[in-house]
Amino acid sequence: MKRFLLTLLILSPLASHFSPVFSQKSESHNAEISRHLELFDDIYRRLDLYYVDTLSADTTIHWAIKSMLSHVDPFTQYYPEDDDELRQMATGKYAGIGSIIRYNQKEERAMIIEPYEGSPAQLAGVEAGDIILSIDEVDVLKKPTDEVSTMLRGEPGTSLQLRVKRMGKSSPLTFRITRKTIQTPTIPYYGMVADSIGYIYLANFTTGSTQIVRHAFTDLRSQGMHRLVLDLRDNPGGAIDEAVNIVNLFVQKGQKVVYTKGKLASSNREYFTTSEPLDTLTPIVILVNGSSASAAEILSGSLQDMDRAVIMGTRTYGKGLVQAIHEVPDRGNLKLTVSRYYIPSGRCIQAYDYRHLTEDGRVGTVPDSLTNVFYTRGGRPVRDGGGIKPDVESQQDSLSSLVYDAMQSDEMMAYVTQYRHEHPTIAPADEFVLSDEDYDNFVRHMAESKFESHRRTDEVMKVLREAARLEGCYEGAEAAFDSLEARLRPDLEGELLRQRDLIRPYVEDEIVSRYYYQRGRTQHLLRNDNVFEQAVELLRDEERYRRILKP
């Protein structure tokens, strides 16, 4: 905070050269900040002096910082010195054993969901479905996953003892694992998926992503690729430089890709393509969805504005904000929103207004009626204020909330773990199919597992019953409430049987990942991906592809 105030004080004399009014406003603003900091300091000192219990300064101040930043936007965050999340976010790297974990409610312990292929965990013999009992002889019962994750991480070259419970084993298994630097997969899978059509799934924009995309594209082209599906669905973004450099692979040198505008001149930047492109002619369809954000929106939006690619899927997240890293005292870091970005047509696609909340406290969005029209290089109309709207809208088949909860449940994971235990091998990822008999076994397992879905109808019924009691009309209507609740009671087994064709691929995907990891899961997902199939059809129809890119 002292460093922040110092910056303001240095800028104030410079501001006086522009306008006396601005100077007065700046001085008034600085005085207001000083007054509130004095108030905060006084309140904290009184707490420390008079409060019945001794307060931890680290904990209390951390809460205060976290609360303050929560009222700005969700992207402005403070990271203490020992928090390596920021480094992982920027580089895609961290030091650990290389596995994804989640909490198992029944076991009240963290569970291995997937060891990364080739990671220390996988090479040591750790498997998906293993329940973590202890780390270096420290019991992890009821410890939250973030705490367990911290215990698994450490300096490269250090080792830990991991003790797990595995289905089918009568006694726990113990592994000695040496930590190393883990690189999360930038491209979990790429390959030829149809006649002359290549596919690249880009999962994030971390340091080095451009070279990985370049390699994948070059390799596919050597295999006869003449058309490309670039999948950015669920890509949360990352480094803006990497997005610009990937755009540069497909457009000419010297093109403005994105520019930023902030409060300070130092936050205003323009980003151009700086090298000769890899390819400017290959037709490209980019897949996006509501979880495609930040750098993924810069890449897809820029190529849309330049009429270089057709965007397909659903509207993207709408993150038009840029963050910079500021070092703060105690070697911590503040990731701070410093500017908005604008893509070639001149539009900013920020969808959420964090400074003006709705009456019920939610973040408001810009309604379509208030957005502005811009134009692509070829004259096609596009809009700002709400993410990237696809040129061709298409969405995945959706599951009911009941079935979705079942697919995310511990009971579902238990079935997949059992299947893996009973089947040492399966068909290749792009060929595997769950038999009717095995699917019926899955339905039976879920029905007998006492799986409970957290349904909104249960919550609404509870509130409705309480309201009826308060209004004195519950006694006469109790039978009606019971009848309605019975009608609304979920029939999981019936739903799983009725939606067999829609649900089976989800079960298959989870099974395939146990044998072929993320690479195999992605490959298998494409077999039942209707959005991907539409992208392939579009690329095969050259006339329709060209027509979409015309004004």
SS3 state at 106 = coil
Q: What six digits make up the tokens of 524?
A: 């298998």
Single-letter amino acid, residue 54: T
Q: What is the DSSP letter of 238?
A: B
Percentages helix, strand, coil for the chain (3-state, rounded to 5) are 45, 20, 35
Instruction: Name 209's bridge partners.
Output: none
- Residue among 248, 310, 241, 245 nearest 278 (CA): 248
The angle subtended at Cα 526 by Cα 522 and Cα 529, nearest 5°, is 125
Q: What is the DSSP letter of 54?
A: P
Q: Rounded CA gap, 405 and 29, in Å? A: 50
CB atoms within 10 A of CB 494: 11
Question: How many helices (H) and strands (E) would you count in the chain?
Answer: 18, 23
CB atoms within 10 A of CB 213: 24
Q: Rounded CA gap, 504 and 439, in Å? A: 7
Q: What six digits make up the tokens of 339?
A: 């500017």
Q: Which residues are part of the catalytic machinery?
A: 294, 305, 319
CB atoms within 10 A of CB 53: 5
Q: What six digits make up the tokens of 171?
A: 């006694």
Q: Rounded CA gap, 370 and 62, in Å? A: 39
SS3 state at 21 = helix
SS3 state at 88 = helix
Hey, what's the torsion of the CAs at 462, 464, 465, 466, to 10 degrees? 90
Instruction: Judge whether 122 and 142 are in contact, CB under 8 Å.
Output: no
